[in-house]
Every structure is written in C-alpha cells, then in structure tokens.
Amino acid sequence: MNLFESFRSGVQSILANRLRSGLTMLGIMIGVAAVIVLVAFGQGASNSITGSIEGLGTNLITVFPGTAGGSQADANLAVKDLTVDDAVALNDQVLAPDISAAAPTKRALVSCTAGTLSHSTAMVGSWPAYFAISNSEVSEGGYFTNSDELDGRRVAVIGKTVADNLFDEADPIGKEMTCNGVPFRVLGVLVSKGASGFGDQDDTIIAPLTTVRNHLTGIGSLDTIAVQAASSQTQAQAQEQLTAVLDARHDVEAATRDYQIFNQASLLTTVNQALGIFTALLGAVAAISLLVGGIGITNIMLVSVTERTREIGIRKAIGASRRVILLQFLIESTVLSLIGAFFGLVLAFLVTRVEVAGIQPAIVPASVLGAFVISVGIGLFFGSYPANRAASLRPIEALRHE
C-alpha cells in the first residue's frame, strides 16, 4: 500500500466522520488564523509607524539646540543658539559633501481665520528646501520661492487638514487667511500624509522663515535645522560632517556639545526592533492556540483509535502491517491538520481585509508558510502517539473488541 493509497484512506476516514473531523479542524483553523492574523496586525502596525517616520522626511537628520543634560547644564555652559548661518554652513558642499540640503525651522503656534472659519495649528517657518527635506509635496498650487523668503512675503503652503478647516469645500489657492492677525496668501496645498502615532501630519502650515520671524516669533533661536543626507547609505558620513561643521562653528567638542542630533535612520531601527519583538510576542501567543489545537488532535485521534479498535483488528487480520496502520493514522491526523490550516488561512485572509484602529494588517508570507509547516508538524507530532497505539494493537484482542 503506497503513500497515495494511505492518503486516500486517510481522507476517506476523515470524510466518514465529518462532525468530529470538523471540530478537530476547528482547533487548528483557529490556531493558524490567529498566528497569521496577529502577525499581520503586528506587521501592519509596524508598516504604519515606519511609514509615518519616513513621512517626516527622507534621510532626515534633525539638529536641536541645547545639551543632552537639559536646561540646568545649558545654564552652566555658554550655549550658542542655532542660527541661520549654521544652516548656511551645512549647505557647504566642500565641508559637508554628503549633506544634500539643510534648512532652518522656526515654529509658531497660530490661530488662523479665513472668512467665518477658524483653525489653530503650528506654522513652520523655513526655506523652500524644507519641502524636499520633509517630504512635503503640494497636490495643488505651488511652493514659495527663495525670493519670497528673501523678501519676507506673507505667503504659505497649507496641509490638507488646515485647508479643510479653513476653506471647507472651496479651492484655497490664492485665497487669503489671517494667522495671529497677519494676512497670508495660500500658494499650495500639501499632499496628505495621513494621521499616525505622531498626530495629524496634515495639520500644518509652511511659510517662509523670514516672514514667520518678522511677523510672528521675532528673531530668536531657531527651533531646529532639518538636514537631509544625500542617500540612506551616507547617513553616517552626513552626520559626521554635520557635527564637524557645527562643532567648529560653536567651538565645542563631544563633551561640551550645545546641540543635539536626532537621526531618523536610528529611530527607524529602534522602532523596528521594538515592533519586531511586539510582533514575535503576538505570534507566540497565537502559537499557543495552535498547540492547544494540536492537543485536540491527539485527543480526537485517541478516541478514534479506541472507537476503531475493531476496524484496526480487521485490517490487521487481512494483512495490514504495523507500518500501514501507523501511516494511515499519521496521514489522517496530518491531513486533518492541513485542512484545518487551509481554512485557517482563508479565515486569516478574510479577517486581515478589515482595518482595525487605523492599522491595515499586512500578511507576512513567512507566517503563512510557517503556519502550514507547523500544522503539518503538529499533525505528525500529535498524531504519532495515537497512531503508534493503533499500530501496536494485537489483532486477536482488537478483533474481540466490541
């Protein structure tokens, strides 16, 4: 009796006990679905957070003023502000060849009105280069230019949320809005980045730095200098050049550094590590339900062996060897487990189509493969004890069994 025959007889006996087989499969089905779905949710969460970190800018390095020790330490040292000249220096292609652009930023909390509508948000004053650095593209209208910046013109590019709140359905391009009493003309609307763990990324206004400083904040320290590395491979070099330039300009060294660097790449790595652990934990919890499903298989197969003792006796009497009986029950448990896994997969695909709490689950191919391999393993492992019991039954005793 070859493998294919044993497979057929396994399937036949599963079909002969539909209800029992179905209930056993249910355990595996739920286990497999749980593993795939939970890992998919973990991956979905990871994608969403990674996406929003990347949405902050491409190859972004941000420089903040102040020391790592906080304000107390700042008071003891002669902390120099970050200045526009610092940003200009970072754009020097000789000193910092791996930095493609650097732009100073100054934030102002503003309350804007347009017609009867009003909205409060943060306005970022910066240079035109900031659009590229922060991955901010306009979907309608255009950007402000260097001459707008030089002349301090009252123009702005607004995020989708601001556009919706101030202009409702109307086209905001060319319209005027008043922020903290200062009139601005809207030049463009940014492409939506969506909401994320970092809040609504569309709730922003970008205006020329000079304008923001002249009309809203005054000439104080900059909030940040946003720096873009030429490529993701040269982030480390870019950061080195950045520190070299700023250390020289501020006359500091590593211990007395009066600015801090936030590197998007290292944040991504850290966050991805944390999320990887989170996903693995979810998967592990789900794997426990697979284990429980496996124990269900052992249980049912043991019942099945007992119930079919006489049948096993008959089969042995007419010439089934130990191997054939063993194979039959092993295949039966494995097929049971595989069919369960298949339905679990279908269930998982259905469930992961649903978006939960803003997270779109992403099925990880490895988890699908893994769940299948594990369920075959479960069938073999948890089926082996009952199958062995069946195979080692003595035919005369099995035949006497009622």
Contact set for another protein, span 177-216 (CB under 8 A): none
Buried b / exposed e along 94-104 (16+ C-beta atoms within 10 A): eebebbbbbbb
CA distance 173 to 129: 21
Give the per-residue contact string, 277-306, with another protein (x = CB under 8 A; - = no): ------------------------------
Q: How far is the CB of 322 from another protein (least distance, A)?
A: 6
In residues, how long is the chain? 402
Q: Which stretch binds another protein (CB under 8 A): 140-148, 167-175, 320-328, 341-349?
A: 320-328
Q: How far is the CB of 397 from another protein (least distance, A)?
A: 10
Under the binding rule (CB under 8 A), the answer on residue 314 touching another protein is: yes
Q: Which stretch binds another protein (CB under 8 A): 34-42, 125-133, 214-222, 307-315?
A: 307-315
Q: Residues 142, 199, 269, 322: which binds another protein (CB under 8 A)?
A: 322
DSSP secondary structure letters along 292-339: HHHHHHHHHHHHHHHHTHHHHHHHHHTT--HHHHHHHHHHHHHHHHHH
Q: Which stretch binds another protein (CB under 8 A): 29-37, 62-70, 130-138, 317-325?
A: 317-325
Helices (H), 56-128: 71-76, 84-90
Give the SS3 label for residue 175: coil
**Which residues pair with residue 110 across a beta bridge?**
121
**Radius of gyration of the chain from its Cα atoms, rounded to whole angstroms:** 33
Q: How far is the CB of 321 from another protein (least distance, A)?
A: 5
Q: Which stretch binds another protein (CB under 8 A): 35-43, 218-226, 316-324, 330-338?
A: 316-324
Query: Which residues contact residue 271 at a Cβ distance below 8 angstroms, ignoring those fewer than 6 apart?
Result: 49, 50, 53
Give the per-residue contact string, 14-53, with another protein (x = CB under 8 A; - = no): --x-------------------------------------
